[in-house]
A and B are shown apart, each in its own frame.
Chain A
């Protein structure tokens, strides 16, 4: 804060710096671990699941094992003395193994989040670069467009597009990408406008580089930070959005393993006291989105001061 002495850290070799930072921010470490696990599961989740996530096991509505039995069950699993894998999280009303489905779901939820964010990042930074660099010609239009966009009922429009195009994974990715593009456009445009006034940009122009070369090679790399920092947060939002849409029956189709859909199919059982079908996918969303939010928040604090 202003007026207080800020201690200046002695310079440290790069290798140690990362470790030192992580130690100072256990929260970032936690978030990073959550993000890493979810990204790994998005790739290998279905492969390491003990059961096929969309194939009924024949055991209907089996509750998870009692807490006291878990150590011996783990020992037996490791020892290989069990006939079939344990239903760690129980099974649902159609006999699907919930543990396997929770592990497999990132291949839908996290993948959609990452793909939608990557697409929005690509579109938003490109448009933002052009908008910020050629500010004079585009400022009015962008202000007008973002005004209109601000008053669009986003949730309803996203639902219309996803449902009307057949509720495919691709439809959700593209819809979310379009939804999040303006965020990146705005972040990049304002950063580009600040960068474009700098000397090295002037120098690039002075030696005869074309405007677009200057914009992409000398302005964009310096203006990407705010957009990249935002990416983690957006992935979390996209996961929440996907799960919410599917919970409402307007997202990916059953029996695809997807956290929101799993919660929806377990919701009616909850009243009957059968809590496990909706508990575990909910915890998975809660932890995953929190992880992405933490990483985004910590990166933001680091780069924006």
Chain B
């Protein structure tokens, strides 16, 4: 088991290196002009040359990569191996600090959204599979298809229009707290957690209220694919011979469903993990609509302003997150089914 975990971890590090280099090279090959964006298009040739030098863009591609990795001295040093992701070309702030600021926002949003989506989608998926081919099954499938095919940013706006503009029961979609609420001292960066740790119930209520609509919006579109996966996997298990045997023995459907649920859990967990990893960057639309200031929004701003170090840092943190989630799932599988680890 330990050997398997280490082997998987090693492969993960190689993947991370491959993706880091890939993004590094792709960004520099595409026809983007970060210097022009930074100094303006009317800047003098000297300014442009100076900026290019400061950003190491006058170095050859392999040299730029070596500097980024921290294997060579350059203006952009220190590099990755010295534990630095560089400074943002836009704000000058260290990329690491910005990750620490934005990542918890996204994590808080997607963790809550996944919990909400699973609470709704798993029972519905199991129900649809167990009841097979009835009106209930058709209804749940219809809902799943619909939810999985929706533009979440538009639903977010629709919810804002109904609950904030029309009925005025939701807070303004302008961030994570009201202007008048003092934020709790920063521990995890997730406001709901930090406010509870500080025992600040007013801040907790405010943070939670600001999260309701974003979480509901994201959870709504997530229920689509989750219902489909759970339903398919449970239906497959329901068609197996041990279920036929259990039926033959006269066991009640409820009990049979409980058996199949455990057996169909494993494949569902993998797909849900992949979906979760995708949401690290994919939650951007909901973040944008509710101005939450998460990782995705920062990614959009960085890409639009050609902020290479920031983009590189974002790709790195999302890739690490993805690899960790997939690793955790694989280890979980190996735990459930020892044949996997061999």
Interface set of A (CB-CB < 8 Å, partner B): 1-3, 27, 147-148, 150-157, 159-161, 163-166, 236, 240, 243-244, 247-250, 260, 263, 267, 270-271, 273, 275, 278-279, 281-282, 285-286, 289-290, 292-294, 297
In the bound complex, residues from chain A placing their C-beta under 8 Å from that of B146 are 290
In the bound complex, residues from chain B placing their C-beta under 8 Å from that of A289 are 149-151
Instruction: Assess A164 versus B300: contact at CB under 8 Å? Given A153-B319, A247-B153.
Output: no
In the bound complex, residues from chain A placing their C-beta under 8 Å from that of B280 are 153
Contacting pair A156 B157 (CB below 8 A): no
Instruction: Assess A290 versus B319: contact at CB under 8 Å? Given A1-B239, A160-B311, A163-B304.
Output: no
From B19-27, B188-196, B204-212, the one touching the partner chain is: B19-27
Would you mind naming 7 contact pairs between A and B with Cβ atoms under 8 Å apart?
Answer: A157-B23, A157-B315, A247-B151, A247-B285, A250-B304, A282-B154, A290-B149
Contacting pair B154 A156 (CB below 8 A): no
Contacting pair B304 A156 (CB below 8 A): no
Interface status of B38 (Cβ within 8 A of chain A): no
Interface residues of B in 257-291 (CB under 8 A from A): 274, 277-278, 280-282, 284-285, 288-289
Contacting pair B151 A271 (CB below 8 A): no
Interface status of B47 (Cβ within 8 A of chain A): no
Contacting pair B322 A153 (CB below 8 A): yes
- In the assembled complex, the CB of B138 is this many whole angstroms from the nearest CB of chain A, namely 8
Contacting pair A297 B145 (CB below 8 A): yes
Interface residue total, chain B, C-beta cutoff 8 A: 61
Contacting pair A290 B244 (CB below 8 A): no
Interface status of B148 (Cβ within 8 A of chain A): yes
Interface status of B158 (Cβ within 8 A of chain A): yes
In the bound complex, residues from chain B placing their C-beta under 8 Å from that of A240 are 149, 151
A155-B278, A244-B151, A278-B154 given; name 20 further pairs at CB < 8 Å: A150-B322, A151-B326, A152-B19, A156-B299, A156-B311, A156-B315, A157-B315, A160-B23, A160-B303, A163-B32, A165-B30, A165-B31, A249-B304, A250-B304, A263-B153, A271-B164, A285-B154, A286-B149, A286-B150, A289-B151
State the CA gap A11–B227 with chains docked (Å).
Answer: 35
Instruction: Assess A160 versus B26: contact at CB under 8 Å? Given A2-B244, A289-B151, A293-B149.
Output: yes
Q: Which DSSP category, helix, strand, loop or mixed, fits chain B's interface?
A: helix
For residue B22, which residue of chain A has the nearest CB? A152
Instruction: Assess A249 versus B323: contact at CB under 8 Å? Given A148-B18, A282-B157.
Output: no
In the bound complex, residues from chain B placing their C-beta under 8 Å from that of A155 are 278, 281-282, 284, 296, 299
For the A-B complex, the count of residue pairs with Cβ-Cβ distances under 8 Å equals 145
Contacting pair A278 B157 (CB below 8 A): yes
In the bound complex, residues from chain A placing their C-beta under 8 Å from that of B243 are 2
Contacting pair A147 B15 (CB below 8 A): yes
In the bound complex, residues from chain B placing their C-beta under 8 Å from that of A243 are 151
State the CA gap A260–B253 with chains docked (Å).
Answer: 46
State the CA gap A163–B247 with chains docked (Å).
Answer: 57
Instruction: Assess A147 versus B303: contact at CB under 8 Å? Given A270-B165, A292-B149.
Output: no
Q: Which residue of the partner chain, among A159, A166, A267, A271, contacts B299 with CB atoms under 8 Å?
A: A159
Q: Which residue of the partner chain, among B132, B285, B318, contacts A156 with CB atoms under 8 Å?
A: B318
Contacting pair A293 B145 (CB below 8 A): yes
State the CA gap A281–B300 with chains docked (Å).
Answer: 22
Q: Which residue of the partner chain, among B23, B132, B164, B322, contacts A151 with CB atoms under 8 Å?
A: B322
Contacting pair B303 A163 (CB below 8 A): yes
Contacting pair A154 B153 (CB below 8 A): no
Chain B 148-168 near chain A by CB (<8 Å), digits 1 or 0? 111101100110110011000
Interface status of B169 (Cβ within 8 A of chain A): no
Contacting pair A2 B153 (CB below 8 A): no
In the bound complex, residues from chain B placing their C-beta under 8 Å from that of A166 are 31
